[in-house]
Amino acid sequence: MSLSDLRTLGRTGVRISPFVLGTMNFGARGNTSHEESVALIHRALDAGINTIDTADTYSRGESEIIVGKALAGRRDQVILASKFHNSVDDDPSHRGNSRRWIVRAVEDSLRRLGTDHLDLYQVHRPESITAIDETVGALDDLVRAGKIRYYGTSVFSPAELVEVQWSADRRRWHRAVSEQVPYSLLVRGIERETLPIARKYGLGVLTYGPLAAGWLSGKYRIGADQPASHRADLIPGRFDIDAPANAAKLAAADALARLAEESGLSLIELAIGFAGSHPDVSGIIIGPRTGEHLDTYLRAADVVLESEVLDRIDEIVPPGTYFHERDTGKIPDALADPALRRSA
């Protein structure tokens, strides 16, 4: 993998860099300095990254504002992606996948980003109370209006991915072109069905969390003190090494760290090399908060793993494995809501 080796996003013909700059860590939830964040974006672009992924919910729109500042005068150099669905303020009506909210949300994102169109607009999460036809129809209208060039989904189940395709086909609407999902050495669940479905329908796949939210930073080792996580408050229990559900994950992270050492690599380099080795992955979303973080990612960009190393990885974490339901990106409503499992 090399930043100069552009990949195609599904069957769109759009060529994206193998690293996609994720911006969740710009703003109140991460780096609060707009100047530092803008400089970091410029460094990423200068290094060869041509694709940026943001969302309206990241720091309640602040991330999009920062990206807009960074792209002033450089917009045409960038494949720009954003997302809608999650809350952007305290008004409960300002969220979701309805046509009413989508047409408002896209205008707000365009204003914050300082652009007249998005290259990719993604449904941040599925929503069981909204019909797929409602969402797909609104997105098709945005394509036809020139507000967005393409649309995609994020953390949709295999069945939901197929339903989105069928909805578009039935009504001769534009199809979704991409899916965004977590994928790493410790989160391999998408290998079961999501990636085969993406291949079948020609979807581009953008993966995030190559370091498994820090579990593959090299700091999680058996017998070591648990490191502090800046995201522990966002995902309660996910980082508690004393929790039984995380014991197997810790053992796997430790074994992978030893494999990296044997291979002459850092665990971060092993993790990035793995995420980029799957032929169905179009781009890996990286989320640096500092220049040091970005440098670490960039050093790993040229790592290519030999077949023997990939085989060893499969022995430690078999294909299709994930250790914690929360690692999949979204607990299905049918599992999270007791009312959907019990009669009145």
| Among the ranges given (40-49, 152-161, 223-232), the one the predictor scored with the smallest mean pLDDT | 223-232
User: In the prediction, which pLDDT does 278 show?
Assistant: 95
pLDDT of residue 230 exceeding 60, the answer is no
% of the chain exceeding 90 in pLDDT: 81
Q: Annotate 286-303 with b (16+ C-beta within 10 A) or e (fewer).
A: bbbbeeeebebbbebbeb
pLDDT of residue 233 exceeding 80, the answer is no
Q: What is the mean pLDDT of residues 202-224?
A: 93
Q: Strand pairing partners for 16? A: 7
What is the distance of C-alpha 98 from the center of its chain?
22
Burial bucket for residue 272 (CB in 10 Å: 0-12, 13-18, 19+):
buried
User: In the prediction, which pLDDT does 52 show?
Assistant: 98
**Which pLDDT tens digit goes with each residue over 123-174?**
999 999 999 999 999 999 999 999 999 999 999 999 999 999 999 999 999 9
Q: In whole angstroms, what is the distance from residue 289 CA to residue 93 CA?
A: 31
What's the whole-number average pLDDT of the chain?
Answer: 93
pLDDT of residue 242 exceeding 90, the answer is no
**Domain parsing of the chain, residue ranges:** 7-214+275-303
pLDDT of residue 234 exceeding 70, the answer is no
Q: State which H helix or E strand residue 201 sits in.
A: helix 194-201
User: Which residues neighbour 254 within 8 Å (Cβ) at sequence distance 6 or greater?
Assistant: 220, 221, 222
Q: Which position among 58, 150, 151, 208 bears the catalytic label? A: 58
pLDDT of residue 1 exceeding 80, the answer is no
Per CATH, which fold does 7-214+275-303 belong to?
A: TIM Barrel (3.20.20)
User: In the prediction, which pLDDT does 280 show?
Assistant: 96
Higher pLDDT, 37 or 1: 37
User: Which residues neighbour 257 within 8 Å (Cβ) at sequence distance 6 or greater?
Assistant: 218, 221, 267
User: In the prediction, which pLDDT does 13 show?
Assistant: 97
| 58: annotated active-site residue | yes
**Which pLDDT tens digit goes with each residue over 265-310?**
999 999 999 999 999 999 999 999 999 999 999 999 999 999 999 9
